[in-house]
């Protein structure tokens, strides 16, 4: 098995005439060399991690902010994998799943981006997967086959009571994404999550449902669907990530000649807009469906959430993940324990929701009652205030730092290739025009956090971001029967 010399790779990358080298640097934590490039003609962004890891990863992503809740980004993510110029098969994705030696193969829609990652240890398989995905995103069959939009998005059908075609039957809505989101919107936890973001980010693209709201999906037209692709699925709005033991220069040369060079540069207005601060604490009540067999008593969700940011501050970004563990996730965590001891809900959960431009921190009590809301809020504020001013358990914080540092060093992500996870982590800064290596260079982050434990750093996070912060949404969700 060939292992590519990294210094030789760097020299070959520098010789690529189609790209400008922005920066090449070592990431000691990953035993990798990082290369950041820009495609000269289209301004496509490139990030490569040169390592000796045989489990190679390729990802292409696009910034895709949602303007509404039609789920167009989600429908497009499904649709581009339904055949392309070079691979006209009806469903190449299914064929790949059946015949590929991949270690990862998927496509993911986020609130502000859509990514297409693949991974494989086999060189030929990796090249094939990469080509299928590149052809799918740049030359999909959606322009010549409207039925793809109907199949993956939504369409009307006339069926009998058993769901079989019958011209005398009932008219129903159908579609892969429509049905998927209908299922998601029937799950209470999912409805709550959407209610929280809708409240926190009212008037912002994050307040829309990128996956698609079943009530809104049928308003999406084929023309608007195609507009989404032609606007955002362009090299000038693309992020291309490569990782592992491969000839990166050869891959980049091929990506240029077969795809990027076929396009001209165009300005794509996909920038994630600033989130406007809330003028005061925002309170909203939502309803969620229950079946006639479910009891409405003790079935209310109480949720407190606040915008904290930190996506482009690696110390705050990691600090809040550690704070989540200390306050909520660890055995006997004080915020979790205080709510459980008060008997406010049957289950308590929460944490730091990142991966977006402005992350938020939240706590939810499940299976509670609406009249417990004042007590719920009082316990949260009282507990946080006590911890902020009397101090957190320093040993608990140090133990939490050790947990996260060990995980970062071991790079054990279960069945997910570590190169895949590094790539997804890079998007947490790269997508917002910041350094893609920001969250991968963890050595100094943990060093700083460990040094700051005794200086009240974590207490200051609580004071500044959780207590003295009007950017807060209090969301309650009450049951409404009957859901069939």
Q: Return the active site residues.
A: 77, 152
Write the secondary structure of the chain as one string of H (helix), E (strand) and C (coil): CCCCCHHHHHHHHHCCCCEEEEEEEEEHHHCEEEEEEEECCCCCEEEEEECCCCCEEEEEEEECCCCCCCCHHHHHHHHCCCCECCCCCCCHHHHHHHHCCEEEECCEECCCEEEEEEEECCHHHHHHHHHHHHHHHHCEHHHCCHHHHHHHCCEEEEECCCCCECCCCEEEEECHHHHHHHHHCCCHHHHHHHHHHHHHCCCCHHHCCCCCCCCCHHHCCHHHHHHHHHHHCCHHHEEEEEEECCCHHHHHHHHHHHCHHHCCCCCCCCCCCCCCCCCCCEEEEEEEEECCCCCCCCCEEEEEEEECCCCCCHHHHHHHHHHHHHHHHCCCCHHHHHHHHCCCCCEEEEEEECCCCCCEEEEEEEEECHHHHHHHHHHHHHHHHHHHHHCCCHHHHHHHHHHHHHHHHHCCCCCCCHHHHHHHHHHHHHCCCCCCCCCCCCHHHHHHHHHHHHHCHHHHHHHHHHHCCCCEEEEEEEEEECCC
């Amino acid at each position: 098995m060939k292992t590519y010399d990294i210094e030789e790779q760097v020299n070959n990358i520098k010789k690529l005439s189609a790209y400008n080298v922005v920066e090449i640097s070592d990431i000691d934590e990953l035993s990798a060399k990082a290369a950041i490039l820009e495609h000269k003609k289209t301004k496509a962004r490139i990030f490569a991690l040169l390592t000796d890891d045989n489990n190679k990863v390729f990802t292409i992503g696009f910034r895709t902010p949602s303007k509404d809740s039609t789920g167009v980004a989600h429908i497009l993510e499904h649709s581009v994998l339904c055949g392309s110029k070079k691979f006209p098969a009806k469903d190449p994705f299914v064929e790949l799943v059946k015949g590929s030696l991949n270690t990862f193969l998927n496509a993911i829609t986020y609130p502000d981006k859509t990514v297409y990652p693949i991974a494989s240890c086999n060189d030929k398989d990796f090249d094939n997967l990469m080509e299928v995905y590149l052809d799918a995103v740049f030359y999909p069959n959606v322009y010549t086959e409207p039925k793809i939009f109907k199949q993956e998005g939504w369409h009307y059908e006339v069926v009998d009571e058993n769901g079989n075609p019958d011209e005398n039957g009932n008219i129903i809505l159908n579609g892969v994404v429509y049905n998927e989101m209908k299922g998601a919107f029937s799950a209470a936890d999912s409805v709550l999550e959407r209610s929280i973001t809708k409240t926190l980010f009212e008037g912002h693209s994050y307040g829309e449902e990128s996956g698609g709201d079943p009530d809104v999906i049928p308003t999406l037209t084929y023309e608007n669907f195609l507009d989404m692709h032609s606007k955002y699925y362009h090299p000038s709005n693309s992020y291309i990530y490569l990782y592992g033991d491969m000839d990166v220069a050869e891959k980049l040369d091929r990506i240029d000649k077969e795809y990027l060079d076929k396009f001209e540069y165009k300005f794509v207005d996909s920038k994630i807009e600033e989130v406007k601060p809330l003028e005061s604490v925002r309170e909203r009540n939502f309803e969620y469906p229950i079946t006639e067999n479910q009891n409405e008593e003790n079935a209310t969700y109480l949720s407190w959430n606040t915008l904290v940011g930190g996506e482009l501050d690696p110390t705050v970004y990691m600090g809040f993940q550690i704070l989540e563990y200390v306050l909520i996730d660890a055995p006997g965590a004080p915020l979790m324990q205080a709510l459980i001891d008060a008997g406010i809900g049957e289950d308590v959960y929460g944490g730091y929701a990142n991966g977006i431009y402005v992350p938020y921190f939240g706590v939810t009590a499940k299976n509670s009652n609406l009249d417990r809301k004042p007590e719920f809020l009082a316990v949260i504020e009282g507990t946080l205030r006590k911890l902020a001013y009397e101090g957190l358990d320093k040993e608990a914080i140090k133990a939490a730092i050790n947990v996260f540092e060990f995980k970062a060093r071991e790079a054990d992500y279960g069945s997910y290739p570590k190169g895949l996870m590094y790539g997804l982590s890079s998007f947490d800064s790269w997508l917002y025009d910041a350094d893609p290596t920001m969250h991968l260079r963890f050595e100094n982050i943990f060093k700083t956090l460990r040094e700051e434990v005794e200086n009240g750093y974590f207490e200051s996070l609580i004071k500044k971001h959780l207590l003295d912060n009007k950017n807060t949404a209090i969301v309650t969700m009450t049951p409404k029967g009957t859901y069939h």
